[in-house]
Amino acid sequence: METILQETVEEILNRISTPFRKIKIDKRDDTYRINIESEEPSLLIGHHGENIFALQNLLKIMIWNKQPGEYKILVDVDDYRKRQEENVIRLADRKADMVMKTQQPQALPAMSPYFRRVVHLHLAEKFGDLMTESVGEGDFRHITIKPKA
């Protein structure tokens, strides 16, 4: 599987004429994390990571046509997504601490479904006395952290 992923990512990057230094593939459970070290990371990352998500979707389609199965594929460029996840988790931890102290709900800023999922899972694991809820619609959807009733 790693070979198919490596070859397919290289094919995509070569077709869009994007230079890269290295493609690192890490498998945990049923998830393949692919980090592309690039000469021009901003081109691959795009505005707020939009190009990463587009690249990931394209890669998933191409891979699932070659290798059907039950697995996930996450694409990152120069650890951009990893840094974003760490920032979102730190913010969620600060807000959760505030909820624990004040017993008042706290809202996080709007974020993508992926980052909302990361926050829900992280806080559920770390703060058993709190609950999280996604609120809002579309681009304005965000998480509210509350004490459990």
Return the domain boundaries, the chain: 2-78, 83-147
Reading the chain (149 residues) residue by residue, the pLDDT tens digits are: 899 999 999 999 999 899 899 999 999 988 999 999 998 899 999 988 889 999 999 999 999 888 888 889 999 999 999 999 999 999 999 999 999 999 999 999 999 888 999 999 999 999 989 999 999 998 899 999 999 87
In this prediction, residue 67 carries a pLDDT of 86
CATH code matching the domain that covers 2-78, chosen among 3.20.20.100, 3.30.70.100, 3.30.300.20, 3.40.50.720:
3.30.300.20
In this prediction, residue 41 carries a pLDDT of 92
DSSP characters for the chain?
A: -HHHHHHHHHHHHHHTT--EEEEEEEEETTEEEEEEEESSHHHHH-GGGHHHHHHHHHHHHHHHHHS-SS-EEEEEETTHHHHHHHHHHHHHHHHHHHHHHH---EEPPP--HHHHHHHHHHHHHH-TTEEEEEESSGGG-EEEEEE--
In this prediction, residue 40 carries a pLDDT of 86
Q: Does domain 83-147 have CATH number 3.30.1370.50?
A: yes
In this prediction, residue 54 carries a pLDDT of 93
Q: Is there a shared CATH topology between the 2-78 domain and the 83-147 domain?
A: no
In this prediction, residue 149 carries a pLDDT of 76
